[in-house]
Chains A and B, each alone.
Chain A
Amino acid sequence: MRSARILLAAVTSVAVVSLSACGIGGSGDSGSQSTANDGPVTGDVTGTISFETWNLKAKYSDYFTGLIKQFEQQHPGAKVNWLDQPADGYADKLSADASADSLPDVINLSPDFAYPLYKKKLLLDLDKAAPDAAKDYLPNAWQGNVMPGQKDNYAFPWYLNTGPYFYNKKLFTDGGLDPNKPPTTYDELAQQGLTLAKNTNGAFAMLGQTPQIEDLGLYGVDLMDPAGTKFTFNSAKGVKLVELYKSMYDAKALLPEALSATYTGSGKKFLAQQVAISSGSAYDLQTFRTDAPSLYANVGITAPMTNTGHANMYVQGLSVAAHSKNKATAIAFGRFVTNAQNQMAFAKIVTVFPSTAGTLNDPFFTQDDGTDIGRVRVASAKQLANGINYTPVQLSDQMKTVLRNELANAMLGKSTPQQALDNAVNQCNQLLGH
């Protein structure tokens, strides 16, 4: 299912490119219009804007309607139309709206979704449009939304996420490992995985996923050249990590399904207690409790493995459409949703983390209340202080599929780790347009 969708996305984005080349698309024509990347946006906060979020309506409807009401009260004459897109097909919807030049005024984007829109000059440069905004946010969160090779930022940082590794203490014991000494580095992970596989004879596995681009980054591999023009993860270090995984795969410490597994797929294998360790987020604990109570009784929590001293961090942002008719209102609303008070309120209901400067010093994030969730929250907040978004924004879904397929070839022995990474780098660079 998932791969079919990725293929679809690829097909649609090809269609977008070819269309705008013929000049049928609206975006081609409006390029001549001034996109206000020239200076600060001033004007009255009034008029109607549309605000698009990604799959938040079902659960957090009250929070957002309250937010919008408050904003409309503070700015008489302003009206916010809230649109919420469902989980699947968001990239397709964005690319259709982009080609018709009908993007909403304020859009919830992660940096990798923002990148194709930025490349078509459809997003507002916020360093220029709202020069006083940067100081309100954590520097690494603001930086996380800066497009490669640019100095300027294209989204107000919104919520952040990071997480621990969860491991199954019972499976650790059954596999002959010390349940109080989970792996702290990738080399230990492989070592322990091999021990576990030898003791269990393939009854269950250590890990359910081949390395992701974030894993390569956390292992200390330079993913791109400094200018962000080409991928470089086929270095000796990258090969070393793939070799570690290959040794785990051969010993059956890596689940055979891992070759095609996505992040969600691997999480389900952890819930089914078929793998012993999995990365996760603070809010996963609740899922364990309701969906896999027998796992919840044995779950252990440990810091994520990293060779760089930095944890990985995921960033969500709010971008403003370059062709918005009410830019001043859109900017005011984007800053309102992402201000410290509103982010704090959101973090309290979802267990994600605010990106505003100083908010993570709140006792809510520094003192644990003795519960598991409290402990994970405090540990995660600490990780965020120097967290890095390792996923390069240029890495599209299509490129992720390329990487996954090439790594599958390496695991199966159809190519060496070096060949697999070389192939992946070449194909990704080609997709980048080299």
Chain B
Amino acid sequence: MNIRAQRPGRIVLRYLLLLAVLAISIGPFLWQLSTSLKGVGEDIYSYPPQFVPSEPTARNYARVADVVPVWGFALNSLLVAVANVAANCVGAALAGYALARMRFFGRKFVVLAFVLALLVPGESIMISLFLMMRSMQLSNTLLAVVLPGAVSALNVLLMRNAFAGLSYAVEEASLIDGANAWQRFTRIALPSVKGTIAVVAIFSFMFSWDDFLWPLIVLHDPDKYTLTIGLNYLQGTFASDQRLIAAGTIIAVAPLILMFLALQKYFFRGVGAGAVKG
């Protein structure tokens, strides 16, 4: 006999809880989406909130582009994000493999240094980073936006754990066959950790796409602003139009959702493979 059939109450409770969590996590997003579609003259702060716009319009999205040069900002964000993803995937894989497989003096200390680096909040070193970029004549460049997060400690540790989790016997066999370190890395180890690389790609894309404070501090020229800074202009000093802000938010979030949908197959595999092992 089916166990579930015996306890319908429990299943109802389970689904109610799941629905409640769903409402909490996507409710605010739905509110933004519905606000971005509302026409002028609709109550947007009504309580309880009204999710279906009575005069739906896409004009708010067009108006975002009128108020701020949103495509230029998006291009800057994309450049920064792609550079960040590339640097993190390559850099973290190389460093992670070295930490997991190479034997060299002080390896444990290097791993410890990466763990400690996780504990330093970025905000506390931001001013010194800014002074550094200035002295390197890099302030107000997109390169300066990318550099501090180019190979992040978290990603290096993720990759290290993924490589350490692979069976060493396979690599030993190829070692006997005469493969050098580079060949073992590219032919054997790397293809086995695709999932973790997808995790690193998504994390670094999200990090650089959402970052606000660092690009704000290091960039002066509005032409170089990234999307998060640019869309912040929609919050007017005097009266801000919530519909525009909502439309801007949706524009900013859309690429993240697309990226996640494209990589989700690898993502869940990767989270299971690399992240949970200490």
Contact = CB atoms under 8 A, between A and B. Distances in A.
B47 A272 contact: yes
B43 A83 contact: no
A289 B134 CA distance: 47
Nearest to A54: B237
B128 interface: yes
B213 A92 contact: yes
B180 to A, nearest CB: 44
Interface stretch (B190-198, B228-236, B261-269): B228-236
Contacts of A19: 127-128, 131
A427 to B, nearest CB: 22
Contacts of A25: 127, 131
A84 B222 contact: yes
A192 interface: no
B126 A96 contact: yes
A352 B66 CA distance: 24
B164 to A, nearest CB: 34
Tell me the interface secondary structure of chain B in the complex. Answer: loop
B14 interface: no
Nearest to B225: A86
A396 interface: no
A350 to B, nearest CB: 6
Contacts of A102: 134, 139
Interface in A94-152: 95-96, 99-100, 102
A369 to B, nearest CB: 20
A12 B131 contact: no
A55 B123 contact: no
A93 B44 contact: no
B239 A287 contact: yes
A41 interface: no
B6 interface: no
A95 B68 contact: no
Interface residues of B, number: 40
Contact of B232 (A88, A100, A268, A291): A88
A377 B145 CA distance: 44
B67 interface: yes
Contacts of A332: none
A95 B236 contact: no
Contacts of A268: 45
Contacts of A271: 45
Nearest to B125: A15
Contact of A59 (B44, B45, B236, B242): B236
Interface string A47-60: 00000001111110
A345 interface: no
A332 B149 CA distance: 42
A370 B140 CA distance: 50
Contact of A86 (B42, B45, B216): B216
B121 A11 contact: yes
Interface residues of A, number: 50
Contact of A58 (B126, B217, B229, B233): B233
B41 interface: yes
Contact of B216 (A24, A89, A272): A89
Interface string B206-244: 000000110011001110000001101111111101100
A292 interface: yes
Contact of A293 (B41, B125, B126, B233): B41
Interface string B35-58: 000001111111100000000000
B239 A286 contact: yes
B128 A96 contact: no
Interface in B119-139: 121, 123-128, 130-131, 134, 139
B40, B221, B238, most chain A CB atoms within 10 A: B238
B123 A12 contact: yes
Nearest to B48: A272
A87 interface: yes
Contacts of A93: 216-217
A84 B221 CA distance: 9
B239 A284 contact: yes
A26 B139 CA distance: 15
A95 B213 CA distance: 12
Contact of A92 (B124, B128, B216, B239): B216
A170 to B, nearest CB: 14
Given A83-B222, A284-B239, A95 B127 contact: yes
Interface in A255-276: 268, 271-274
A271 B44 CA distance: 9
B148 to A, nearest CB: 14
Contacts of A83: 220-222
Nearest to A83: B220
A66 B236 CA distance: 20
16 contacts: A14-B124, A19-B131, A54-B237, A59-B67, A87-B232, A87-B235, A89-B212, A92-B216, A92-B217, A99-B131, A272-B45, A273-B47, A290-B40, A291-B242, A292-B43, A295-B43
Given A85-B216, A96-B130, 7 more contacts: A15-B124, A15-B125, A15-B126, A83-B221, A86-B233, A87-B236, A96-B127
Which 4 residue pairs across A and B have the least CB separation, nearest first?
A86-B232, A272-B45, A271-B45, A87-B235
